[in-house]
Chains A and B, each alone.
Chain A
Amino acid sequence: MTNSDTILIIDDEVQIRRLLEITLSANGYKISEASTGKEGLVHAATTHPVLIILDLGLPDADGIEILKKLREWYLKPILILSVRSSEDDIVKALDNGANDYLTKPFRTGELLARIRVAIRQSLDASDDPCLTFGSLTIDLANHVVKKNDELVKLTSTEFSLLALLAKNEGRVLTHHFILKEVWGMGYMEQTQYLRVFMAQLRKKIEDNPAKPRLLNTESGIGYRFGA
């Protein structure tokens, strides 16, 4: 695979940077490194990275602050890679514009997959209203969902939910975000709706609802469509 895209790593740990550099270079990415938040902001502006990997615990600033500053102008994916594993931290980062997160220690395979998904999403501006995931097709324009070429009957809320998740394939969506998008601002705390509809949706589109392949739970945070 040849890939000349630059990825910016903002992390103060040399060993993590080295590991990322080896892994990502081997996968054809160019690497730009920064060990502090300030340096990271400068590099982000100068090296035009296609994706930024950001650590939350930086020596000079809180990662969330850096994230907010980046998001003022940087539109491409930002992936959080942090030892902070508390759900609150993760949700906060996602709500502040991070596309995805991974906690340290992490599997490099998983990291690469997340990077690929994030980059693809950011590039994929296709207006193709038909999304296909294995045996499942979703026709966004006509509100039609088919599984193994059979029509799946969905209520309008179920469809909205599925559509939102499918459009953000591979990306974690927080409970709040989903509730806001599907039900509206007033329902942001009504997580029980989300649970019920999710369970129903799984029964309708998953091969084995007990082992979901498409509608994955991110415990305490939200849901992720696909891998």
Chain B
Amino acid sequence: MESADNRPDPDELLATIIKDEEKSKRGKLKIFFGMCAGVGKTYTMLQAAKVEKAKGCDIIIGFVETHNRKETASLVEGFELIQRKKYQYKSTQVQEMDLDAIIARKPQIVLVDELAHTNAPDSRHTKRYQDVLEILENGINVYTTVNVQHLESRSETVAQITGIIVRETLPDEIFENADEVELVDLSPDELLQRLSEGKVYTPERSREAILNFFRKGNITALREMALRIVADRVDKQLHDYMQEKHIRGPWKSGSHLLVAIDYKIQSTRLLRWAKNLSYSMGANIQAIYVETSHQLTSKEHDQLNKNINLAKQLGIKVRIVTNYDVVSAIVDFAQKENATHIIVGKPRVRNLFAMLRLGSFVNKLIRYSGNIDVYILGADNQAKGRYREKVFVPSFTSNLREYLTVILLVILSSISCYLVRDFVGYQIVSFGLLFLVSILAVFFGPGPILLAAASSALIWDYFFIPPQFTLHIDKPEDVLMLIMFFFIAMLNGILTSRVRRQEQKIRIREERTQALYQLTKELNTASGINEVSRMAIKYVQKYFNLDSAIILKTDLNQLDNIVQDGTSIQVLENDFSVANWVFKNSTMAGKYTDTLPSGNFTFYPLSGNSGNIGVIVVELHHIFTQGEEQFWEAFLSQISGKYEREFLRNAAKETYVLSESEKLYKTLFNSISHELRIPVATILGASDTLLSQNYPEETRQKLYTEISIASIRLNRLIENLLNMSRLESGHITPKPDWCDVHDLANEVAEALQVELKPFKLSTIIPTDMPLVMVDFGLVEQVMHNLILNATQYAPAGSRIRLKIFYDNSFLNIQVMDRGPGFSPSELNFVFDKFYRGKDSKAGGTGLGLSIVKGFVVAQAGTITAENRENGGAKFIIKIPVKIADLNNQKKTEAS
């Protein structure tokens, strides 16, 4: 039992293998990791490089900043340097690493300093780590340096400790996936010593830097952080190692964190914290955002996008679900995904109402979450100071027209109520107005509804409740009624509008689902790559209102240099190079992305299961919202899938053709080699005999005849093969000319004189047969082959009929014999290549009839075979022809 328990989990095993494979293709990333500037990361990196170089490794410097430090600068000497690329940025010139030059140079190892660096605006990528990823993709190993404050998940903490907000950050994923991390450590005292000696910064910069950043407390905290990260990493490596070697450990395996985020700034902290936790726990992590009926302001929207992007940078997958009940959405999702921990932020307590809600939120979460651990992270005081949350006012975003319409409607219905007031009584009027407000709620937002509720309450009070035309109310029950009226109207209105908004959101989702379904359905009916392209472009226009172009890969697995049909935008040379990059790197690029953001278009890779299929280029007018992006991704995956299927189908077709041609080749080989050998054997044998001995004249004559017959047979085979290959290669282009069919018949009879000797050939041509427009040579060959075929099957002495006539713009040619005819089963195959009748005599290749068919079809004609009533085969050919105008000819004759 125990051994079974300790067996490696196949999924884990597979994951290890895949990871290994991917890593072996890519270059290896080694990070020299330090707590802050000045600890000697670059120095250590250069020293390590020197050791490698001494071993004979091809190692160059891609980008190293020496900060004018003498020791470092002296180490740089002796290394090949890639020239930096210069960019003009505003008035200053900026120097950046030349990515393409490095890839073109293709060393074994390249040194790239400052991984978290942000590139100049016109560079291909916004961040240097993206450059490095591309270098790694190209199989080049990279040595680089990183400071702890640059790690995305730590930047906030660093900001808390040092008071400096770090802008140049590095996604944790890069760090986690590095193949090797070397800690460069220095005690705080030593560092400060070095600083004061001016070894870190040149003296003028040093003072300011020291004051701001290099305080002993700071350095110690950063150092602790760096050490801990490296320790965590070692821990994780140990964990991986043990897993690899199937050593069961005491860790809680299979932890799965779910972090719930929203549209507030606090979520960023939540995400970082959760990421750290997952890292130290070795747990999976994903995030969830619950879309409720709450309407986002544009600021909230931006923050939500930022949060989701941060999650992505931290390597956390975000799922978006729509539900009016946040708690049940989170819990449902957690259960479905087998999450072991839910992490939420503590809602901010603003007032009594919020406190009540907080209680309900947290309590509900705890109550429903069952055996899932719930972490509730407190509010962050630091953040509170810096980012004051705006008090949320229920979105009064409806425009003025809506308010006016609402008021108008309230007044109109009040007037009509006023007219009937005497018949129904003022209390019934309140129901009428209440009814109106409820109906309005279906069409208008909460603002107008609030207005409608208030105004109708006032109107009711003023115009209806006695005493009329005062706001004063006599009876206390009327006061109560008025208050109740107001609250019911308001609640009713707001609830209805909330339901409506929720519905709207769900409807949008449904529409999208419907659109996707529609797309899938239509894509299934599309056949051929061109049609798929046209359809995709049409759908992008219809559902995203975007112009687009699609570029696909060629057979050589490179991106084509032409766009697919149906394109609605002009794709220029430059765009193609971006598309190429996107295709190679499987990453989106262009406008609104981190890569080459200066263009007009945005490029998305179309990726299938077995690599990229192409690139779709769109002209975005704004960044996709989260919902749109999800829809877009689903859309792209549908399109890519269809393209992939089309490509596979083409490939399958090719394979089929290939296997068919292989089959053909074999048949050809078998039948042709036989057919070639027999006459050659005859010629060789006969000529040998003639050469070696002096036979009597009579024998010699016989041998000569044999040689002659064999040669004719060989020649006929060659003719057939040549014709077949002309047909196969599509080189048959009929050259019709005026033709006298008598001529045709005579020629064929003449050519087959010898073969026809034992037979009686009757040629039947009507006297009024006109001249016809056909290719003389092709028709002659057709008749030749058919008659020759008849001579091979029909018994000697029998009659072979050749009937030619013109009927209704068709030239009819019929060849009939009294041979065995066809068995019903073979009627379908007689014109197939290399098909030979069951009762065929020895000899023959099965090419003759297929050539006949080919030649007839080449002239747009048809050929059929059938059995004659009294036995024998009948071939019927119909070729559409023009005929000569006889009157015209008579005229010429007369002249």
Closest-by-CB residue of B relative to A107 is: B708
Contact between chains at A193 and B892 (CB < 8 Å): yes
CA distance A220 to B738 in the complex (A): 10
Chain A residues with CB under 8 Å of B747's CB are 217, 219
CA distance A221 to B739 in the complex (A): 12
- Choose from B735, B746, B763, B771 the contact partner of A195 (Cβ within 8 Å): B771
Closest-by-CB residue of B relative to A198 is: B740
Cβ-based interface call for A62 (8 A): no
- 3 smallest CB-CB distances across A and B, nearest first, come from A192-B738, A192-B884, A195-B740
A-side interface residues toward B, CB under 8 Å? 87, 105, 155, 157, 175, 191-200, 209-212, 217, 219-220
Cβ-based interface call for B98 (8 A): no
**Whole-angstrom distance from the CB of B843 to the nearest CB of chain A?**
19
Cβ-based interface call for B278 (8 A): no
Chain B residues with CB under 8 Å of A87's CB are 735, 777
CA distance A198 to B742 in the complex (A): 11
Interface pairs (26), CB distance under 8 Å: A87-B777, A105-B711, A157-B893, A191-B737, A191-B738, A192-B771, A192-B889, A193-B892, A194-B738, A195-B740, A195-B743, A195-B771, A196-B740, A196-B889, A196-B892, A196-B893, A199-B742, A199-B743, A200-B893, A210-B763, A211-B750, A212-B746, A217-B746, A219-B747, A220-B737, A220-B777
CA distance A193 to B884 in the complex (A): 10
A217 and B771 in contact (CB under 8 A), knowing A105-B715, A192-B889, A196-B889? Answer: no
Contact between chains at B776 and A210 (CB < 8 Å): no
CA distance A192 to B774 in the complex (A): 12
Chain B residues with CB under 8 Å of A200's CB are 893
Looking at A105, A193, A195, A199, the one whose CB has the most chain B CB atoms below 10 A away is A195
Chain B residues with CB under 8 Å of A192's CB are 738, 771, 884, 889
Closest-by-CB residue of B relative to A223 is: B743
**Whole-angstrom distance from the CB of A198 to the nearest CB of chain B?**
7
CA distance A199 to B750 in the complex (A): 17
Chain B residues with CB under 8 Å of A198's CB are 740, 743
Contact with A along B720-752 (1 / 0, CB 8 A): 000000000000000101111011011101100
CA distance A175 to B742 in the complex (A): 17
Closest-by-CB residue of B relative to A218 is: B747
Cβ-based interface call for B780 (8 A): yes
List residues of B (668-717) whose CB comes within 8 Å of A's CBs. 711, 715
Closest-by-CB residue of B relative to A200 is: B893
Chain B residues with CB under 8 Å of A105's CB are 711, 715
**Whole-angstrom distance from the CB of A102 to the nearest CB of chain B?**
14
Closest-by-CB residue of B relative to A209 is: B742
Closest-by-CB residue of B relative to A199 is: B740
Contact between chains at B771 and A196 (CB < 8 Å): yes
**Whole-angstrom distance from the CB of A110 to the nearest CB of chain B?**
13
Contact between chains at A195 and B739 (CB < 8 Å): yes
CA distance A215 to B363 in the complex (A): 113
CA distance A213 to B780 in the complex (A): 19
CA distance A195 to B885 in the complex (A): 13
CA distance A131 to B760 in the complex (A): 36
Contact between chains at B889 and A193 (CB < 8 Å): yes
Contact between chains at A219 and B777 (CB < 8 Å): yes
**Whole-angstrom distance from the CB of A89 to the nearest CB of chain B?**
13
Closest-by-CB residue of A relative to B746 is: A210
B-side interface residues toward A, CB under 8 Å? 711, 715, 735, 737-740, 742-743, 745-747, 749-750, 763, 771, 776-777, 780, 884, 889, 892-893, 895
A219 and B780 in contact (CB under 8 A), knowing A195-B740, A195-B743, A210-B746? Answer: yes
Chain A residues with CB under 8 Å of B776's CB are 219-220
Chain B residues with CB under 8 Å of A193's CB are 889, 892
**Whole-angstrom distance from the CB of A195 to the nearest CB of chain B?**
4
Kindly list 7 other residue pairs between chains A and B, CB separation below 8 angstroms, not including A192-B889, A200-B893. Answer: A87-B735, A105-B711, A192-B771, A192-B884, A195-B771, A209-B742, A217-B746
Chain A residues with CB under 8 Å of B745's CB are 210
Looking at A200, A212, A217, the one whose CB has the most chain B CB atoms below 10 A away is A217
Closest-by-CB residue of A relative to B775 is: A220
**Whole-angstrom distance from the CB of B18 to the nearest CB of chain A?**
60
Closest-by-CB residue of A relative to B780 is: A219
Chain A residues with CB under 8 Å of B738's CB are 191-192, 194-195
CA distance A220 to B749 in the complex (A): 16
CA distance A105 to B715 in the complex (A): 8
Chain A residues with CB under 8 Å of B740's CB are 195-196, 198-199
Closest-by-CB residue of B relative to A104 is: B715
**Whole-angstrom distance from the CB of A18 to the nearest CB of chain B?**
15
Chain A residues with CB under 8 Å of B739's CB are 195
Closest-by-CB residue of B relative to A105 is: B715
CA distance A13 to B746 in the complex (A): 34
Contact between chains at B763 and A217 (CB < 8 Å): no
Chain B residues with CB under 8 Å of A175's CB are 737
- Choose from A155, A157, A197, A217 the contact partner of B743 (Cβ within 8 Å): A217
**Whole-angstrom distance from the CB of A191 to the nearest CB of chain B?**
5
CA distance A194 to B776 in the complex (A): 14
CA distance A212 to B740 in the complex (A): 14
Closest-by-CB residue of A relative to B889 is: A196
**Whole-angstrom distance from the CB of B319 to the nearest CB of chain A?**
70
- Choose from B715, B746, B777, B780 the contact partner of A211 (Cβ within 8 Å): B746
**Whole-angstrom distance from the CB of B560 to the nearest CB of chain A?**
38
Contact between chains at A210 and B742 (CB < 8 Å): yes
Closest-by-CB residue of A relative to B763 is: A210
Closest-by-CB residue of A relative to B895 is: A157
**Whole-angstrom distance from the CB of A210 to the nearest CB of chain B?**
6
CA distance A87 to B736 in the complex (A): 13
CA distance A115 to B37 in the complex (A): 101
**Whole-angstrom distance from the CB of A150 to the nearest CB of chain B?**
22
CA distance A87 to B735 in the complex (A): 10
Chain A residues with CB under 8 Å of B780's CB are 219
Chain A residues with CB under 8 Å of B737's CB are 175, 191, 220
CA distance A177 to B895 in the complex (A): 21
**Whole-angstrom distance from the CB of B478 to the nearest CB of chain A?**
109
Contact between chains at A155 and B893 (CB < 8 Å): yes
**Whole-angstrom distance from the CB of A199 to the nearest CB of chain B?**
5
CA distance A212 to B750 in the complex (A): 10
Looking at A192, A195, A211, the one whose CB has the most chain B CB atoms below 10 A away is A192
Closest-by-CB residue of B relative to A175 is: B737
**Whole-angstrom distance from the CB of A62 to the nearest CB of chain B?**
20
Chain B residues with CB under 8 Å of A220's CB are 737, 776-777
**Whole-angstrom distance from the CB of B802 to the nearest CB of chain A?**
12
**Whole-angstrom distance from the CB of A152 to the nearest CB of chain B?**
16
Closest-by-CB residue of A relative to B719 is: A85
CA distance A170 to B545 in the complex (A): 78
CA distance A197 to B715 in the complex (A): 35
**Whole-angstrom distance from the CB of A90 to the nearest CB of chain B?**
11
Looking at B715, B737, B749, B763, the one whose CB has the most chain A CB atoms below 10 A away is B737
**Whole-angstrom distance from the CB of B751 to the nearest CB of chain A?**
9
CA distance A193 to B895 in the complex (A): 12
Chain B residues with CB under 8 Å of A217's CB are 743, 746-747
**Whole-angstrom distance from the CB of A213 to the nearest CB of chain B?**
11
CA distance A16 to B65 in the complex (A): 80
Closest-by-CB residue of B relative to A87 is: B777
CA distance A199 to B777 in the complex (A): 19
Chain A residues with CB under 8 Å of B777's CB are 87, 219-220
CA distance A217 to B749 in the complex (A): 13
CA distance A193 to B742 in the complex (A): 15
**Whole-angstrom distance from the CB of B883 to the nearest CB of chain A?**
10
Chain A residues with CB under 8 Å of B750's CB are 211
Chain B residues with CB under 8 Å of A219's CB are 743, 747, 776-777, 780
CA distance A157 to B891 in the complex (A): 13
CA distance A175 to B737 in the complex (A): 11
Chain A residues with CB under 8 Å of B749's CB are 211
Chain A residues with CB under 8 Å of B895's CB are 157
CA distance A209 to B743 in the complex (A): 10
**Whole-angstrom distance from the CB of B351 to the nearest CB of chain A?**
98
Chain A residues with CB under 8 Å of B743's CB are 195, 198-199, 217, 219
**Whole-angstrom distance from the CB of A206 to the nearest CB of chain B?**
11
